[in-house]
Amino acid sequence: MHEWSLEPLFSSYESKEFKDAIKEIEKDSLRALEFAEKDLSETNQALIRIEEYISLSSKIRTNFLKCFAYSTLRLATDALDEDASKYMNKLQGMSSKLTPFSTKFSKWLPTLNNLDELIETSTLLKEHEYFLKSIVDNSKHVLSDKEEAIISKMQQTSSSAWGQLHGLLTSTLEVEFDGKTITLSDVRNLAMSKDKEVRKKAYYAEIKALEKIELSIAYALNGVKGEVNTLSEMRGFESPLAQAVYNSRMKQTTLDSLIQAMREYLPHFHRYLKRKAELLGHKNGLPFYDLFAPVGESSKEFSVDEAMNFVFDNFKSFSPDLEEMARRAYKENWIDFLPKKGKRGGAFCSNLHPIKQSRVLTNFSGSFSNVITLSHELGHAYHGEQIFKESILNATYTMPVAETASTFCETIVKNAALKEADKEEKIFILEQSLKGSTGVIVDILSRFIFEKEVFDKRKSTPLNPRMLKEMMLSAQKEAYGEALDHDFLHPYMWVVKGHYYRGGLSFYNFPYAFGLLFAKGIYAKFKSQGESFVDDVKLLLQKTGQMSVEDVASLVGIDLTNVDFWRSSLEVIKEEIDLFIELTE
């Protein structure tokens, strides 16, 4: 009941449907390689060739995503699933063989002088105009056919393998706690316990357990970041950060404005953390083990059913279709709720375009924070519902806007809960909200600082666990200041955050801050404009695969390059901080 169903993808690796999908990929891959061998110099055939590429790419991507998602989702709930590992490896190999297909097209398309005219003559091309023009723009970062093919194959045994190692070690790590052996997800969930001694003991148990894998994980991090440094330089980017900004379809001025505003408002977050420390009886700032401690009183401890009903009731305040999607997700078993050994930690949502559904993973333990996580991940699913209206080639949105719908849905649930609360529950809910905002602004800033330094230093030397721990602590001190007790920081945040270990997704930290503050701005517009604004939000989400983030924001009248927009969103959080301090005096 509380595990997801992957049946809409495939029933098993032995099923006829899975075997047929693999055969289709193999057959279409041969067609793709034949395409790569064609002479594309005949300009009178250009329209036919572009349409052929779009149609074949769409078909391959559809079957590939179904098979790959089935493998990755199985592996997410069982790191020891040998079949999933085997097929993931097989599919990565099949994907790498397609490199000449995409590389040949990516190098040929920019040579056409009449691309705009061709686009106007074809419905298929017009639908995929942004996709095609993105290929032209990205062509300056594409290497030779031979280099791209080698890179694609080598990544299977480099960054991809290092990432899998990180996932395996952290999901199977045994943590000794209170005479029992529990998982890393379990012990991290105890950071939200009502019992101070439990939180403190869990912190020490987590640190002690992570020491056992620090060397292996450090090797994994060095492998991933070393590869990214090399490839970003080869592709002509100034740095991995510059590449991440480019891949985010974002202007550097937008990121600069965001980071500037975050730094400006740090003192307000420090005020909140110091007040929390006082409430919990600490004199030297807040120890890391109490960062997630509950403050205020709430009688609410949620079962899975209660959590989902809470989400349903509050989602309907935005629109009926948001509530309906959440109900469908629960009824049709899109969600894998509970922690277990071998299941990866944290939470995520995977949009499955080929079946027009999503799958959500959480490690639910009954806290209000877990309910917020559910609303966040179901927000991603709602984004999927909008993007599914577009073709599969137009459905890839970038990291920053990826967090928009999720954070928007979080805000809906938090604000609805706040309205119904008495003073003690109001303090509790406010603190839950501020705890999340602090993580997304202050902790994310520390992770951004850390990752930038890792990339910089990795250019000249491998980084051992001691160096990584020192860098992590330094980044935390810079972001949190004196608001945290420097004797109780978390030197292993680089181990527990899986985002660092994805070679194709560097700096997956600032998008969370972007998403939070962008969503706050959109929510403010929704509150002022009401039901008439719902369709604007849906259109914004639908078009995220076909626009830069600045153009997406312009659909609802927002200028992301202006630091004042980010300040206005942070001002909303500052008001929450002021209210929290007032209520706790």
E strand or H helix that includes residue 375: helix 368-387
Return all residues near 456 (Cβ < 8 A) that are at least 6 apart: none
Task: List C-alpha distances in Å: 8 to 4, 71, 336.
Answer: 11, 13, 15
Q: Average of pLDDT values for 446-455?
A: 98
| Average pLDDT of the chain to the nearest whole number | 94
Q: Average of pLDDT values for 151-165?
A: 91
Asked if residue 510 has pLDDT above 90, the reply is yes
The closest of 148, 222, 218 to 459, measured between CA atoms, is 222
Q: What is the DSSP-derived secondary structure letter of residue 439?
A: I
Dump pLDDT digits (tens) for 180-205.
999 998 999 999 898 999 999 999 99
Q: Specify whether the CB–CB gap between 165 and 220 falls below 8 A.
A: yes
Predicted pLDDT at 299:
67
Q: Average of pLDDT values for 363-368?
A: 88
Domains 16-154 and 213-298+438-583 share a fold: no
Q: Average of pLDDT values for 113-138?
A: 95
Tokens read off for 216: 């292996």
What phi, psi does 11 have (nearest 5°)? -85, -30
Dump pLDDT digits (tens) for 21-74.
999 999 999 999 999 999 888 878 999 999 999 999 999 999 999 999 999 999
Burial category of 350 from C-beta neighbours within 10 Å (exposed 0-12, middle 13-18, buried 19 and up): buried
Dump pLDDT digits (tens) for 371-397.
989 999 999 999 999 999 999 999 999
Tokens read off for 349: 């949502």
The closest of 187, 198, 194, 199 to 431, measured between CA atoms, is 194
Furthest-apart CA atoms within the chain: distance in Å: 77
Predicted pLDDT at 301:
84
The 10 Å Cβ neighbour count of residue 407 is 27
Predicted pLDDT at 527:
86
Residue 574 pLDDT class (50, 70, 90 cuts): very high
Predicted pLDDT at 223:
97
Return all residues near 574 (Cβ < 8 A) that are at least 6 apart: 265, 268
C-alpha 87/C-alpha 92 separation (Å) is 8
Asked if residue 570 has pLDDT above 70, the reply is yes
E strand or H helix that includes residue 216: helix 214-234
Q: Specify whether the CB–CB gap between 423 and 362 falls below 8 A.
A: no
How far the first Cα of the chain sits from its last, in Å, is 44
Predicted pLDDT at 244:
95
Dump pLDDT digits (tens) for 252-301.
999 999 999 999 999 999 999 999 999 999 999 999 999 999 888 776 78
- For residue 572, the SS3 value is helix
The closest of 431, 14, 11 to 192, measured between CA atoms, is 431
The closest of 423, 422, 429, 415 to 585, measured between CA atoms, is 423
C-alpha 556/C-alpha 186 separation (Å) is 41
Q: What is the DSSP-derived secondary structure letter of residue 464?
A: -
Predicted pLDDT at 199:
97
Cross-strand bridge partners of residue 175 = 182
User: pTM of this prediction?
Assistant: 0.82
Q: Specify whether the CB–CB gap between 17 and 83 falls below 8 A.
A: no
Q: Average of pLDDT values for 162-174?
A: 94
Return all residues near 154 (Cβ < 8 A) that are at least 6 apart: none
What phi, psi does 548 have (nearest 5°)? -70, 160
**Could you identify the residue written with the tokens 């007032």?**
582
Q: What are the residue ranges spanned by the domains of the chain?
A: 16-154, 213-298+438-583, 304-420
The closest of 285, 377, 350 to 66, measured between CA atoms, is 350
Tokens read off for 428: 């509790």
Tokens read off for 223: 């492998």
What phi, psi does 545 have (nearest 5°)? -85, 0
Asked if residue 1 has pLDDT above 80, the reply is no
**Could you identify the residue written with the tokens 């594309």?**
40
Choose which CATH entry (1.10.1370.20, 3.30.365.10, 3.40.50.10210, 3.40.1370.10) describes domain 213-298+438-583. Answer: 1.10.1370.20
Task: List C-alpha distances in Å: 491 to 169, 173, 413, 462, 477.
Answer: 18, 17, 32, 18, 11
Lowest mean pLDDT among 141-155, 280-294, 507-521: 141-155
State in words which class domain 16-154 has.
Answer: mainly alpha
Q: Average of pLDDT values for 537-562?
A: 94
Which of 133-158 are b and which e, b meaning 16 or more Cβ less than 10 Å from the residue's Cβ?
A: bebeeebebbbeeeebbebbbebbeb
C-alpha 64/C-alpha 87 separation (Å) is 11
Q: How much of the chain is in helix, strand and coil states, percent to nearest 5?
A: 70, 5, 25
Residue type, 492: Y
Predicted pLDDT at 546:
93
Burial category of 216 from C-beta neighbours within 10 Å (exposed 0-12, middle 13-18, buried 19 and up): middle
Q: What is the 3-state secondary structure of 151-200?
A: HHHHHCCCHHHHHHHHHHHHHHCCEEECCEEECHHHHHHHHHCCCHHHHH
Dump pLDDT digits (tens) for 368-377.
888 989 999 9
- For residue 66, the SS3 value is helix
Task: List C-alpha distances in Å: 23 to 19, 27, 29, 354, 579.
Answer: 6, 6, 10, 17, 60
E strand or H helix that includes residue 423: helix 423-438
Q: Specify whether the CB–CB gap between 428 and 297 falls below 8 A.
A: yes
